[in-house]
Structure 1
Amino acid sequence: MLGFGTYERAKHPRVGIILDGLRQRGHDVKEANRPLGLSTAERVTMLQQPWRLPLLVLRLLARWTSLAVAARRTARSHRPDVVIVGYLGHFDVVLARLVFPRTPIVLDHLIFAADTAQDRGARGLRVRLLGLLDRLALACSDLAVVDTEEHHALLPRRTRGLVVPVGATHEWYAAGRSASRGGTSPSVVFFGLFTPLQGAPIIAEALRSARERLPELRVTMVGTGQDYAEARRILADDDTVTWMDWVNPADLPRLVAEHDVCLGIFGDSHKARRVVPNKVYEGLAAGCAVITSDTPPQRRALGDAGVLVPPADAEALADALFSLTADPKALARACAASGARAAGFSAERAVEPLESALKSLVA
């Protein structure tokens, strides 16, 4: 098997989970990878603002030239039976189809470009064009891997799709095993890109209310983005909140695992109701109690291991935070439940359905 594309493992761990999981299950997996060096937000911005596209095109062409050479070199000594195109591979899958015209191609279609842009405020022609890009990418693949049943329902009728949970990397499990909790003050952490899907203003309102009832609650907010300024405005009077604009990805698991509660997402957009975000799986693996919105995919993923609240309901989130963090025994039970549930989302376990599908794909 060959992992192929401009993906970046550190920023977008999904592809690493898939490739590492297949390795752990005994498969010989090589990689032809030339990271593009752009974040998800930067890619979406470029697709929304056409005047920025030349930069994307030039960088993509440079990476593609190197990627095609690397892929052909690898193929001479290791002809892949399957090519797996990593997350954010809408363009990469086109190159993969050109370089490997007769090899089955799996596209990790974790996000739909049109859906993501629409969730971040895009409308009209740009969304329609990104919809065409989604369809082109899917047409170049033999199997599209998505993360929830709700995303599977968005695939075109003739597209072969498979649901594979995002899972978490081994670094999160290691951080959870070595974490020391149980300090005198309960703690909660949120990390993300502050997109509407995540509902940062709702989180801020809830934190303000919860801390009025439980002043010793420690809060850490990690990241920046679209709703960052509004979240800071809501919590402006609380100078005990720790704000961290950026944390090295290698250091993030340890930081999160040092907290008692990890917050998921709380937006009420259509996209927010279709996803289980990375941070939910990572919070479980880190051994934190997880609070997130009560949506069908998150309910399926968490079962009884998470605390679920209605989307976009700051008061319900505040109540859940207070009830959990004010009761040390309840908090300890929630953390233990997270650890037990997380066992099913390791890389090796997450790729089980993909391994079965690959057998029929290459038959």
Structure 2
Amino acid sequence: MHPAGGQLTVRICYLGGFDPQYSRNNFLRQALAENGCEVVMCRVPPGMPTAQKYPQLIAQYAKVWRNCDLLLVPESQQTTVPLGWMLARLTGKPVVFDFFLSMHEMVITERRQFSPRSRQARRHAASDRLAGYLPDILLVQTRRFASFLQARYQVQPAKMHVAPLGVNDAVFFPRNRAIKKDPARLTVLYFGSYIPNHGVPVILDAIALLRADRRFHFRFVGDGEGKAAALAAAQARGLEIEFVARVDFSAVPQQISDADIVLGVFGDTPQADMALANKVLQPLAMCKTVLAGDTHSIREHFVHGEHLQLVPLANAAALADGLRALAADAGMRTRLAEAGYERFRERLTPRVVGADLRARLERLLTAR
């Protein structure tokens, strides 16, 4: 740690192949900066092969290591953890890994890209296991995921620090909405990339059940692997949905602001249960009414009927009933939005999450 203006500054090297605009590492770097930490990035584009990535990262780290207190390997960079560990040991630094998600769970269990008995499945499991073993500290986003890592890979609880997925409150905050084309109808927003844990087929089934209810206007914003199937299903069933292509990140807050109800995730998948979702947190940060699937991860911070409305996962009838209940009670929509916003301010802003994380990093450094 280094003195700066009368207080100590923790200097962190963010090392890996990552997109600095991706919400998770963008949020963590902001959280650290707001709590007196300095971050220097040693990075290459995401997806670069390991044989190309390692030499470039080594060269970048060689220029900055003397001015860093620790290395932090960001989310989804399991394959960079061995390099981070080696560089940390060679230069006398601790290493931290943001174990944001399990690559085995995402690729094999969630998206079923390979057989569970395949070589790729064994490779992802081995990569997860090693990434859980080598670092001095693991950052996880929920207690539920920490329990998973303990059960699956025997990671000790004391090694894990819960750094929740939060929201940049300089970007996502309450704002005025655009004038509605049809004030009599409630705009219900899904925004995302149509991945399995979002449960888009469940949302479509619920919309079909609400076909005759003219109180709703459904808007889907985004692109992704499941969009073509969603478009085809909506057209085949004659569902009235406004499909909008993916918008730039800077336009997402206005899309949220223009909605009356924002939908969370509804797929009954491990990822849905273990992870927090931007599509839940960002609208709460903007004081919007959220209807989401009921998961352990959401209940770590929010209470059904107090901060947001929850329904069982993969249950289209319950989702339709939840929308009807919200449409019938404007007062409830307002109460949920306001209470959800206050809970977000209490727990999931960069300053709050960053203060807890900085304290843990300080303990790591002083213990060495």
Question: What TM-score do you get using the length of structure 2 for normalisation?
Answer: 0.85
By percentage of residues, which structure has more strand? 2
Q: Which amino acid aligns with 1:218?
A: H
Q: Deviations over 1:14-34 (max 9, x none)?
A: 112111111101122222232
% same residue: 24
Match of 2:5 in 1: none
| Alignment check: 8 A CA contact 1:266 1:293 kept | yes
Alignment partner, residue 96 of structure 1: 84
For normalisation by structure 1, the TM-score amounts to 0.86
User: Structure 1 residue 242: deviation in Å?
Assistant: 1.6
User: 2:6 is matched with which residue?
Assistant: none
Letter of the 1:287 partner, please give it: C
Distance change in 2, residues 1:313/1:239 (3 Å): closer
Q: How many angstroms does 1:181 deviate by?
A: 7.5
> What corresponds to 2:262 in structure 1?
262
SS of structure 2 residue aligned to 1:5? strand
Q: Which amino acid aligns with 1:361?
A: L
Residue of structure 2 equivalent to 1:157: 154
Structure 2 distance, partners of 1:335, 1:138, is 37
Partner of 1:9: 20
Cα deviation, 1:63-114, whole Å, max 9, x if unaligned, reads 44333222221224x1x11211111111222222222223111111111011
Residue by residue over 1:145-164, the C-alpha shift from the partner in whole angstroms, topping out at 9 and shown as x without a partner, is: 11111210122334411111
**Does 2:226 match 1:227?**
yes
Per-residue deviation at 1:133?
Answer: 0.8
Alignment pair present for 1:348 and 2:351: yes
Map 1:257-296 → 2, pairs under 5 A: 257-296=257-296
Q: Partner amino acid for 2:363?
A: S
CA distance in 1, matches of 2:171, 2:336: 17
Q: In the comparison of the two structures, how many residue pairs are matched?
A: 338
1:69 aligned partner: 59
SS at match of 1:290: strand
Task: State the distance in 2 between where 1:164 and 1:115 align.
Answer: 20
Within the candidate set 350, 358, 361, 2:361 is matched to 358
Shift of 1:335: 2.0
Deviations 1:277-320 (A, max 9, x none): 22211121122211111122212222221100011100110111
Shift of 1:352: 3.3
Q: How do 1:162-181 residues align onto structure 2 when only pairs under 5 Å count? A: 162-174=161-173, 176-179=174-177
Partner of 1:112: 102
Where 2:265 maps in the other structure, the secondary structure is: coil
Q: Which has the larger radius of gyration?
A: 2
Which has the larger displacement, 83-92 or 217-226? 217-226
CA distance in structure 2 between the aligned counterparts of 1:282 and 1:22, rounded to whole angstroms? 19
List alignment gaps of at least 5 residues for structure 2. Answer: 1-11
**Letter of the aligned partner of 1:6 in structure 2?**
G
Shift of the alpha carbon at 1:231? 2.6
CA contact under 8 A between 2:70 and 2:88: conserved in structure 1?
Answer: no
Q: Quote the Cα distance in structure 1 between the aligned partners of 2:249 and 2:54.
A: 26
Q: Which residue of 2 aligns with 1:310?
A: 312
Q: Secondary structure at the match of 2:274?
A: coil
Is 1:31 paired with 2:21?
no
Deviation, 1:239, is 6.5
User: Which has the larger displacement, 127-136 or 150-159?
Assistant: 150-159
Q: Is the 8 A contact 1:172 1:285 kept in 2?
A: no
- CA–CA separation in structure 2 for the residues paired with 1:84 and 1:34: 14
What's the CA shift for 1:139? 2.4
Alignment of 1:115-264 (within 5 A): 115-117=105-107, 118-121=109-112, 122=114, 123-125=116-118, 126-155=120-149, 156-159=153-156, 160-174=159-173, 176-179=174-177, 183-213=183-213, 215-236=214-235, 237-238=237-238, 240-264=240-264
Distance 1:29 1:347 in 2: 15
TM-align CA RMSD: 2.2
What displacement does 1:178 show? Answer: 4.6
Distance 1:330 1:227, change over 3 A: same
Q: Which moved more, 1:63-72 or 1:246-255?
A: 63-72
Aligned counterparts of 2:249 and 2:194: Cα–Cα separation in 1: 17
